[in-house]
Structure 1
């Protein structure tokens, strides 16, 4: 089993990824800003103070890791680009750098017309800065992440929420995966399954993929 560092492990998505990886036998380090607030994580998870936008944090945690998962949120637009730049800039040129798995935004996915969901006129304004920030990070990975292995994972653009872990999902590229009713839906629990599956069996290196039922 591998060693996985999860930045943002205290959040809803990050905690699910942490638990999924731990219960599948991986060594997991939860990198959070407030270690005292993570008592709900499994007892065997190592909890440290860490920040994906801190070069010092990345340098301290990267040597022990096979994968660095970015599941951060709650910041201003520049947060996700700062994290991407820090991770890539710190890892590039180091021996055997860990792979970056970035949980990105579903609004960066393409509509049937070819534009992005975040550019639609009815896209909620309160989510726009976060969506643009995740789009900035994706653009950076695609254009400037040479020398580092990365994967950007997008949930559905709208219906992504806590729920049951089924262990089943489908994957796609730059367009949402939809069911027979045209809906794209996923739980945080099954996103965690998909991310740990990707770490264990890489299928989307240096690209973006999306997950839904």
Structure 2
């Protein structure tokens, strides 16, 4: 059983990670800015224990407090619209690293939800280079890209970024997916997609069996 804290636990991906981890018997701390908005009863009936705690991902002191005693710290934060993402994602990565550095050798591993925009579709060509993408979407893509660029400069905190397929949304939990590193993946029908529950499966699998410390990887439906 791992002790896992999840920032952004009230969001679509964050709550799916909490549910998946609790279903496997892990002890999960769901971290949100306003705990009254997240009822831990929604996660009842799972083998793992879920508690809710207040925390601001942009405050390194909050990060250190929440992370103390954990095995893994998950960041599933988002910023709403494009401008919000640009103002949150990369600053959050910096605050997370600063908070974890304050714990020294007792700091847990950081596993962050990334974006698909910086994945390659051809040598030297990334998803965000496609013509016609709305500005708000580009802002989100580049916000995640900025955070990844920053984390790649960090050598004293154990980090991993998991980028989804190009399309992530509602769908069944199949428990089946494929992984890669820097190239955008597609399924058997040539579509780059994954359901939120299967993305959570891939993330918790990485928690249980670490294979990508200090790097970004991606996942896609089969």
Same fold, TM-score > 0.5, yes or no: yes
Q: Distance in 2 between matches of 1:26 and 1:61?
A: 16
**Once the two structures are superposed, what CA deviation does each residue of 1:29-80 show, in whole Å capped at 9, x if it has no partner?**
0001121221263144110111221112111111121111010112330311
1:47 and 2:52 aligned: yes
Contact 1:19/1:41 (CA < 8 Å) preserved in 2?
no
| Structure 1 gap ranges (5+) | none
Misfit runs of 4+, over 3 Å:
none
Give the superposition deviation at 1:89.
Answer: 1.8
Where do residues 9-158 of structure 1 align in structure 2 (5 Å cutoff)? 9-39=9-39, 41-43=42-44, 44-73=49-78, 74=80, 75-92=84-101, 94-143=104-153, 145-157=154-166
Q: Distance in 1 between matches of 2:8 and 2:42?
A: 12
Return the TM-score normalized by structure 2.
0.90
Three-state SS of the structure 2 residue aligned to 1:48 is: strand
Q: Distance in 1 between matches of 2:185 and 2:131?
A: 22
1:160 and 2:161 aligned: no
**Once the two structures are superposed, what CA deviation does each residue of 1:114-160 show, in whole Å capped at 9, x if it has no partner?**
222113222222212111111000000112x1111000000012x21
Q: Distance in 2 between matches of 1:2 and 1:181?
A: 36
| Structure 2 gap ranges (5+) | none
Structure 1 vs Structure 2 CA RMSD: 1.4
Label 1:50 to 1:77 Cα distance change in 2 as closer, same or farther (>3 A).
Answer: same
